[in-house]
Amino acid sequence: MLGMIKNSLLSTVETWPYRVLSEGEKEQLGYEERACEGGRFAAVEVAGKPFDEASKDGVLKLLKYVGGTNDKGVGMGMTAPVSITAFPAEDGSLQQKVKVSLRIPSQFQANPPCPSDESIKIEERQGMTIYSTQFGGYAKETDYVNYAAKLKAALGSEAAYRKDFYFCNGYDPPMKPYGRRNEVWFVKE
């Protein structure tokens, strides 16, 4: 627990590597097209709970893992964003299942510690191109759904992206009261 608190308060945060391919603005919404690197990720699925509760549960499990609850007992440091895969229903609301993930820090990419919690899986992911929009505040389900709808409207019918899921991303620890960064990502097809 101490390692988890130290990680979230004192360590520097490594950001998931990406490069901006293009920028746009439409319907008063700024967005970017980005190429994100692949790599190894720690991921946990949580189902049967509302989005905000499921997300919190998943994030806490991953914080414990990177904080030292792993087979090597090593605190790895934090990476950003914490990424929550959301699965929209036909009406735009979110289903009661999420996958919370975070990129393993660079120094542990080749040989990540095994999680002590068996619900956490280490996944190898390919790079991807995404459409992203950013917003501030303490993001909740309603914010992500709202910005996903805005991004969908801004992209219009010209952009091809996955409709069966999208990523809800948070970059900041909960104790950061202002200047917060949240993003919605659609994966380009």
User: What are the Cα distances from residue 115, in Å, to 24, 49, 105, 123, 162?
Assistant: 40, 23, 14, 12, 30
Contact 103, 39 (CB under 8 A): yes
> Sorting pLDDT into bands at 50, 70 and 90, what band is 11?
low
Q: Is 166 exposed, middle or buried (0-12, 13-18, 19+ CB in 10 A)?
A: buried
What would the pLDDT profile of 66-125 be if each residue is shown by its tens digit?
Answer: 999 999 999 999 999 999 999 998 888 899 999 999 999 999 999 999 999 999 999 999
Q: Contact at 8 Å (CB) between 100 and 58?
A: yes
CA distances from 108 to 2, 59, 149, 187 (A): 20, 19, 36, 26
Q: What is the pLDDT of residues 29-78, one digit of tens each?
A: 999 999 999 999 999 999 999 999 999 999 999 999 999 999 999 999 99
SS3 letters across 85-117: EEEECCCCCEEEEEEEEEECCHHHCCCCCCECC
55 phi, psi to nearest 5 deg: -60, -45
CA neighbor of 132 nearest in space, from 57, 54, 23 = 23
> What pTM does this model have?
0.91
